[in-house]
């Protein structure tokens, strides 16, 4: 009701011995989020963990050890369900929750004692600076304008490929560290926003010459993944997947295979697209050859593609029309 607390007493009730040790807690009420009602009182409200979003307290909560605790709000913590507080000290504490708060509120609502704290999440590290004048915390976040180092925090899940497959950087994460020692962990989808360039790029069709680490660059900072392995494709089939742009000729013109694409595919359905400039390197022979001067007997002929170990493939039929001269000269 209007005079009740979200968790605790009703209009004239009291909240006593309320303890939150973890989880995702959202509490609003006409009077207090957690505590007593309008005419009630609250005693011994203890918060030792979790993410606690409340509309207010009638009395300051404690950590159960006689120390008052105050809100430190960490913004933009989507999918973060654990925060380690003061992890590098003998007083390390872990706050856990189940999920985001309702309304897709991704903030993590921590209640901490009256001093500076170091906070560590999967999104990075933060500092909660205590202000005794306001009885509140200021969250010092990662400074993207003063990054001192970049390292690979986790390798891509896939490092071994067959030529023709696309580079997949899923699983890769990069840790940036600023001049205050705060860190940010960045995934490939956020590389551009964080000014990180990957070479080769995610999604690039890999060749045999790509058997190297992926190089990551941010300004003057560099890092590398583990070395990629790119194995040679052993095709079991060959097909024409794109016809030559030109298929109609007049006798005497040269065969032009521009636009022709041939797809080689192995038993695992890995595909490699090959253009005429790459035929020789991939063991593909063509008859008639690219550049051949066409004659009338080539009319209706299909360009035949052969490669050892796979069935032949052919293009569509060529049309070769008779020359109808309008002039004659001695050349």
- Domain annotation covers residue 168: yes
13 with 113, same domain: the answer is: yes
> How confident is the model over 86-134, as pLDDT tens digits?
998 889 999 999 999 999 999 999 999 999 999 999 988 899 999 999 9
Of the candidates 179, 211, 231, which is a domain's last residue? 231
CATH code of the domain in which 224 resides: 2.60.40.3630
In a domain, 329, yes or no: no
Q: Which helix (H) or strand (E) holds 107?
A: none
pTM: 0.63
Same domain membership, residue 242 and residue 203: no
Using one digit for the tens of pLDDT, what is the confidence trace for 183-210? Answer: 899 999 999 999 999 999 999 999 999 9
In a domain, 330, yes or no: no
Which residue among 141, 163, 192 closes a domain? 141
Which residues constitute the domain of residue 99?
A: 7-141
Domains identified in the chain, total number? 3
| Inside any domain, residue 326 | no
Average pLDDT taken over every residue of the chain: 90
Supply the pLDDT for residue 40. Answer: 42
- Residue 294 belongs to some domain of the structure: yes
CA distances from 218 to 143, 178, 251 (A): 14, 13, 57
Q: How far apart are CA 172 and CA 186, in angstroms?
A: 9
- Residue 2: inside a domain: no
Question: Which of 231, 255, 278 delimits the end of a domain?
Answer: 231
Does the structure show a pLDDT above 80 at 174?
yes
Q: Do residue 40 and residue 137 come from a single domain?
A: yes
Looking at the fold, whether 183 and 308 belong to one and the same domain comes out as no
């Amino acid at each position: 009701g209007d005079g009740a607390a979200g968790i605790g007493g009703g209009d004239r009730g009291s909240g006593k011995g309320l303890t939150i040790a973890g989880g995702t807690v959202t509490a609003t009420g006409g009077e207090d989020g957690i505590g007593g009602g309008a005419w009630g009182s609250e005693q011994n409200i203890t918060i030792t963990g979790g993410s606690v979003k409340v509309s207010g307290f009638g009395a300051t909560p404690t950590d159960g050890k006689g120390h008052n605790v105050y809100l430190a709000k960490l913004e933009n913590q989507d999918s973060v369900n654990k925060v380690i507080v003061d992890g590098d000290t003998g007083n390390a504490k872990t706050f856990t929750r189940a999920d985001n708060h309702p309304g897709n509120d991704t903030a993590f609502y921590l209640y901490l004692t009256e001093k500076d704290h170091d906070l560590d999440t999967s999104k990075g590290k933060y500092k909660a600076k205590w202000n005794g004048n306001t009885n509140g915390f200021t969250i010092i976040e990662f400074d993207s304008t003063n990054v001192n180092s970049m390292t690979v925090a986790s390798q891509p899940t896939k490092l071994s490929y067959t030529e023709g497959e696309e580079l997949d950087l899923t699983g890769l994460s990069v840790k940036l560290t600023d001049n205050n020692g705060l860190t940010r962990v960045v995934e490939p989808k956020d590389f551009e926003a964080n000014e990180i360039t990957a070479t080769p790029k995610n999604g690039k069709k890999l060749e045999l010459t790509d058997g190297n680490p992926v190089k990551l660059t941010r300004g003057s900072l560099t890092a590398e993944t583990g070395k990629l392995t790119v194995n040679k494709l052993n095709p079991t089939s060959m097909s024409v997947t794109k016809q030559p742009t030109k298929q109609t000729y007049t006798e005497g013109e040269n065969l032009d295979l521009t636009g022709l694409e041939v797809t080689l595919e192995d038993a695992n359905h890995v595909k490699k697209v090959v253009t005429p400039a790459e035929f020789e390197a991939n063991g593909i022979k063509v008859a008639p050859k690219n550049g051949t001067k066409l004659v009338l007997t080539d009319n209706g002929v299909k360009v035949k593609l052969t490669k050892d170990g796979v069935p032949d493939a052919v293009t569509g039929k060529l049309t070769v029309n008779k020359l109808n001269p309008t002039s004659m000269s001695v050349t």
